[in-house]
Amino acid sequence: MKAAKLFAAVALCALPALALAQEERPYTNGPVTQVTYVRVKPGHFDDYMRHLAGLYRKQMEAFRKEGLVVDYKVLAATPRSPAEPDVVLTVTYPNMAALDRSRDFDRIGTQVAGTFSEQDKAFADRGSIRDVIGSELLREMLLK
């Protein structure tokens, strides 16, 4: 009799754990998009677009071919104030783990854009025609 009561008590305690183990979230983690907000300095919009159409696109296409990047976009924005961006760049990665593949990004980056020193200089040079206002990382939630 004691054994039956003990078994019943253990079984009742285990029920919530079993219910939780079978419960699923109503979503799955999807792709991750990095959004960068840029304010181009007056008179340099076409200069910046030439950079994006050239080396930037070449690098993004190489990343996409390697499977590191799913998609990228260059969006023009209408700023409501001088503190807001007029260009928004998005880069979509297949998942959060893709961001940990820095060696692959570095390998392709140096093949396409030159040594790290050359890339740093080019980044600094772009600073004369634009300011990066900020960025954020967004994860898509795929609803079930």
Q: Which pLDDT tens digit goes with each residue over 7-62?
A: 556 566 665 555 556 789 999 999 999 999 999 999 999 999 999 999 999 999 99
DSSP state of 131: E
Sheet holding 71-76, edge to edge: 71-76, 87-93, 27-40, 130-143
What is the residue whose two structure tokens read 């159409």?
53
Number of domains in the chain: 1
Q: Is residue 99 part of a domain?
A: yes
**In 3D, which of 36, 118, 133 has the Cα closest to residue 81?**
133
pLDDT confidence of 123, banded at 50, 70, 90? confident
In three-state secondary structure terms, 39 is strand
Q: Is residue 12 part of a domain?
A: no
Question: Is the pTM above the cut of 0.85?
Answer: no
Q: Is residue 6 part of a domain?
A: no
Q: Is residue 5 part of a domain?
A: no
Q: Is residue 20 part of a domain?
A: no
Q: Is residue 21 part of a domain?
A: no
Q: Is residue 13 part of a domain?
A: no
Question: Domain holding 131: CATH number?
Answer: 3.30.70.100
Name the residue range of residue 56's domain: 27-143
Work out the mean pLDDT of the chain and round it to a whole number: 89
pLDDT, residue 46, reads 97
**Listed ranges 87-91, 104-108, 109-113; the one with the highest mean pLDDT:** 87-91
Q: Is residue 116 part of a domain?
A: yes
